[in-house]
Amino acid sequence: MTESLGDWRRTHYSRQVKPDMNSQKVTLMGWIHEIRDLGGIIFLLLRDRDGVTQITAPSKKVSPKLLEEIRKLRKESVVAVKGSVQESGKAPGGVEIIPEEIKLLNQSQQPLPLDPTEKVRAEIDTRLDSRFLDLRKHSVNSIFKIKSRMLHSVRLFLEEQEFIEINTPKLVASATEGGTELFPITYFEREAFLGQSPQLYKQMMMATSLDKVYEIAPIFRAEEHDTLRHLNEAISIDVEVAFADQDDVMILLEEMVANAIKDVKKSCSEELETIGVELEVPKTPFPRLQYSDVVDLVNAQGVNLRYGEDLSRAAEKAMGEVMDGYYFISGWPSEIKPFYVMPNSENPEISHAFDLMYRDLEISSGAMRVHLHDLLVDRIKSKGLNPDSFNRYLAAFQFGMPPHAGWGLGAERFTMCLTSAKNVRETVLFPRDRRRLTP
């Protein structure tokens, strides 16, 4: 009974079948969402990428052979249905299909490890184990349609501003963001690492005259913590701009973020409705807070944060209580920012680094960089690192490196903001976390 497509081809997706197409012949393809056999009439719900269509098979109108075939179908099997459209007040979308032929393309085994009809709620681990079934739910796949649109909009925005897309190595020899979060790998007879960030490469691009570059690619972090915000493999949207400082790239970042939200709101209205999210396009410029003010704000709420410390989870949560939306934190102490961040020339204790926050979630970090070779060597040493292991990177600073600035925006964290997802794993097809390496 299981057959190939032959000359059958889909003519419409569910949502394209409208009541004004009465009597029109259509071919739909998808999965059996539901079967209700009432004896004299069988209702099939056919689900595809867009939605669900009711296939109505009354014994008066449909041949006994076809009815028998329909009775053999099992939930989540793949079928193609040829039939005619009929207006129906009771059916979803105001239409039903009276079937003339049904082709079973692949019968599904039973029982299912997961119910894609969302009647039974499953735990995230069960869902991730059977992610292909989980992604049949429109509430789940909507998140990825939104993520895809966001990435499209980001690319378009940067391309329009004449940024050049680059691809940098993910097999690397050294750390960039502090030594503890690296995944070591065996590179022939040497030790190497999975790249934590394209940081050093995008900076080296600034010495080439390409001037404005971006990369959208995986970053690998050996985070020990099992949290709702951390992944071991994430997608970073990285940007670097020559002849620019932190203020220039903060403006670029907020404009890009606001533009992507506006675009997602317009282009993904159905997906947003499916997941029950009403997006608000933030006004630019975003509020700009100083790190020292953040310390005061956090302490005022009874959470202890000493000046010079990075924001703890409790401190982030306290900020989420007072700030409702996107905001920058600037003026970070140099001590807690990486070696490549430019210290303020008047007060080197303070750096030209910033974070972009959404309520209690950090979604991006950036800075003006150190472009002066000797200062960079000092900064590397002051972090307890050996400048010799950075000599190829440092060479780019000896023969004409312009002042430059940039940032990295986490694609999954930004998708959390767009979809109101509480767990970052919801925004990754196949997340990698402390315990999960499959599927």
The correct pick among 51, 282, 408, 431 for binding ligand AMO (CB under 6 A) is 408
CB of 217 to ligand AMO, least distance (A): 12
Query: What stretches of 116-243 adopt beta strand conformation (E)?
Result: 164-165, 171-172, 184-187, 190-194, 212-220, 233-242
Taking the least distance from each CB to ligand AMO, the nearer of 8 and 183 is: 183
Q: Is 343 in the site for ligand AMO (CB under 6 A)?
A: no
Position of tokens 């204790």?
Answer: 349
Q: Is 126 helix (H, G, I), strand (E, B) or coil?
A: helix
Our CB check for ligand AMO shows the closer of 99 and 406 to be 406
The overall longest dimension of the chain from CA atoms, in Å, is 88
Backbone angles phi, psi at 374, to 5 degrees: -70, -35
State how far the Cα of 109 lies from the Cα of 127, in Å rounded to an integer.
18
Q: Which one of 4-12, 112-120, 321-329, 357-365 is the stretch in contact with ligand AMO (CB under 6 A)?
A: 357-365
Query: How far, in Å, CA of 104 to CA of 2, rounded?
Result: 5
Q: Is 221 in the site for ligand AMO (CB under 6 A)?
A: yes
Judged by CB under 6 A, the residue of 77, 153, 197, 415 near ligand AMO is: 197
Residue 50 CA to residue 65 CA, distance in Å, equals: 30
The number of angstroms, rounded, from the C-alpha of 155 to the middle of its chain's C-alpha atoms is 14
Shortest separation between residue 178's beta carbon and ligand AMO, angstroms: 9
Asked if 418 and 153 count as a contact pair (C-beta separation under 8 A), the reply is no
Residue sitting closest to ligand AMO (CB): 410
Task: Calculate the CA 331 to chain-centre distance.
Answer: 28
Among 319, 406, 416, 428, which residue sits at the site for ligand AMO (rule: CB under 6 A)? 406
Member of 241, 363, 396, 421 binding ligand AMO (CB under 6 A)? 363
Asked if residue 247 binds ligand AMO (CB under 6 A), the reply is no
Q: Is 364 in the site for ligand AMO (CB under 6 A)?
A: yes
- For ligand AMO, which is the closer residue by CB, 69 or 355? 355
Give the range of 102-110, 114-122, 232-240, 254-262 binding ligand AMO by CB under 6 A.
Answer: 232-240
The yes or no reply on residue 410 touching ligand AMO (CB under 6 A) is yes
Closest contact distance (angstroms) between CB of 343 and ligand AMO is 15
Shorter beta-carbon distance to ligand AMO: residue 42 or 424: 424
Question: Should residue 370 be labelled a site residue for ligand AMO when binding is judged by CB under 6 A?
Answer: no
Selected from 104, 182, 217, 231, the binder of ligand AMO by CB under 6 A is: 231
Q: How far is CA 349 from CA 226, 339, 353, 364, 401, in A?
A: 32, 13, 12, 22, 24
User: In this structure, what token pair is assigned to residue 40?
Assistant: 């004299």
CA pair distance 213, 261, nearest whole angstrom: 22
Which helix (H) or strand (E) is 33 found in, with range?
strand 25-37
155 binds ligand AMO (CB under 6 A): no
Exposed, middle or buried by CB within 10 Å (0-12, 13-18, 19+), for 219?
A: buried
Residue from 42, 32, 38, 80 nearest 63 by CA: 42
Q: How far apart are CA 28 and CA 47, in angstroms?
A: 9
If the CB atoms of residues 77 and 415 are measured against ligand AMO, the closer one turns out to be 415
The residue range among 54-62, 126-134, 408-416, 428-436 that interacts with ligand AMO, by the rule CB under 6 A, is 408-416
Which C-beta is closer to ligand AMO: that of 54 or that of 364? 364
Q: Is 195 in the site for ligand AMO (CB under 6 A)?
A: no
Is 407 one of the binding residues for ligand AMO (CB under 6 A)?
yes
Residues 267-306 as x/- pattern, contact with ligand AMO by CB under 6 A: ----------------------------------------
CA of residue 167 relative to chain centroid, distance: 19
Q: Is the Cβ of residue 95 or residue 175 nearer to ligand AMO in the bound state?
A: 175
Instruction: Decide: 222 and 232 in contact? Cβ < 8 Å.
Output: yes
**Closest CB to ligand AMO among 56 and 236?**
236
Peptide bond into 111 cis (omega under 30): yes
Q: Provide the strand spans (E) within 107-211.
A: 164-165, 171-172, 184-187, 190-194
Stretch that binds ligand AMO, among 231-239, 321-329, 372-380, 381-389 (CB under 6 A): 231-239
Number of residues that bind ligand AMO (CB under 6 A): 23
Min dist CB 214 to ligand AMO, Å, is 11
107: exposed, middle or buried (C-beta count within 10 Å: 0-12, 13-18, 19+)?
Answer: middle
- Under the rule (CB under 6 A), what is the footprint of ligand AMO? 177, 197, 199, 221, 223, 230-231, 234, 236, 238, 362-367, 406-408, 410, 412-413, 424
